[in-house]
Amino acid sequence: MKTIVLFGLVLGAISAAGKVFFGEVGGKVKLECGVNSFSNMVDWRHDGLVLRIFKKNFPSKGQSKFRQRVKVIEEINMEISGIIESDFGKFTCAADGSSHEHDLIVVSVSVPSGPLKVGADATLECKTNSGVSGQFNPKVKWQKPDGSVQIETRVELKPVASSDKGIWSCVVSCKGETFVKNVTINVEENVPKTAIPTLVENPKSSNSGNGKNSTGGVRGSGDPLLLLGLAWWIWAAIGAGGLIVIILIIVIIVVHKRNKRRKNKFLRMKKAQTPKKYCQCVRQAAAAKPQQGRRREKPSALPLQPLLQE
């Protein structure tokens, strides 16, 4: 009976411990509440209220550093974007009175940018911020390209060797959860200057035989003739391509002009077939002249009287 009780207590302690989530600096992480549904309200807290989700209303955000970087996903879970190193710690999700505690571990991985030179020094670092201590403290290790493991947060390559080239893996584990970040390390070997081949001209060759060509290079009996560093068939291909382009341009211009002439001809024909419409102005009838009265007859002239003689 005691064994069953202890087993139940252990299971309760494990469930109360919640889940571990990993987030990389600059990335985003989804925190799961621990329940699939709720009936009233869900509170997400981390040193105060972070996010409050209502069943039939819009969510509200608390006055925390996450205010501009959190959002609700899948109705009950929370997503944090733009993770910074100080985002680590415990997060509590309370849904309908049931509380679930979770841990967020922030991982920061730094490696040299660009290819490394053989013989140079380089440092690979994988550090965590968790707030978890004791037996649940995160364990960090580096896995090399050859499969071997180095249990350190910081790896010093002094000096860099050709065998360091490949994929390195930063592996962080805590409470049964694992985070893996792969990085590729490129290594360039130093090539001695004496190993670089140089072109040596043949002093016995001349410009008139099968020796030097017009570009000044040395041409053997089986090498193609070069012109400005290119073989004759390349110049032929360039010339043929240019000719095709010119022909296409001419064809386009001719077709364009022909279509333009057809369009103008069609417009002229259409204009000729359209009957002319003259404007018929509506004029008011001239008003009738007022009837004039009977013209007065002029009085007839008086008869001339003969002059009386004295």
Residue 104 neighbours by CB under 8 Å, 6+ apart:
21, 22, 23, 29, 31, 80, 87, 88, 89, 90, 91, 130
User: CA 208: distance to chain centroid?
Assistant: 58
Across 2-10, average pLDDT:
42
Number of H-type helices and E-type strands within the chain:
2, 19
Residue 195: pLDDT over 90: no
Residues 72, 164: Cα–Cα separation, whole Å: 43
What was the pLDDT predicted at 212? 42
Q: pLDDT by residue (tens digit) across 93-111?
A: 999 888 999 999 999 999 9
Residues 51, 63: Cα–Cα separation, whole Å: 9
Return the number of other C-beta atoms located less than 10 Å from residue 78's C-beta. Answer: 24
- Answer yes or no: CATH 2.60.40.10 is held by domain 18-106: yes
Least confident residue range of 22-26, 48-52, 189-193: 189-193
Phi, psi torsion values for 42, nearest 5 degrees:
-130, 135
pLDDT tier for residue 7 given thresholds of 50, 70 and 90: very low
Q: Global pTM? A: 0.56
Hey, what's the torsion of the CAs at 54, 60, 66, 70, to 10 degrees? 60
Q: pLDDT by residue (tens digit) across 243-298?
A: 999 999 999 999 999 998 888 888 888 777 766 665 555 555 555 555 555 555 55
Q: pLDDT by residue (tens digit) across 102-156?
A: 999 999 999 998 899 998 999 999 999 887 766 678 999 999 999 999 898 999 9
Amino acid at site 151: I
Alpha-carbon distances of 26 from 132, 181, 295, rounded to whole Å: 21, 13, 117
Across 59-87, average pLDDT:
91
Q: Any idea what DSSP says for residue 212?
A: B
3 state SS of 99: strand
Beta strands per DSSP E along the chain: 20-24, 29-31, 41-45, 49-54, 60-61, 70-73, 77-80, 89-95, 98-110, 116-117, 122-129, 139-143, 149-150, 154-157, 166-174, 177-185, 187-188, 226-227, 230-231
Domain boundaries 111-188, corresponding CATH code: 2.60.40.10
End-to-end CA distance of the chain, in Å? 191
Q: Is 261 left (phi over 0), alpha (psi -120 to 50) or beta?
A: alpha
Do residues 225 and 154 make contact, with C-beta atoms less than 8 angstroms apart? no
Do residues 175 and 18 make contact, with C-beta atoms less than 8 angstroms apart? no
Beta-sheet pairing, 154-157 with 149-150: unpaired
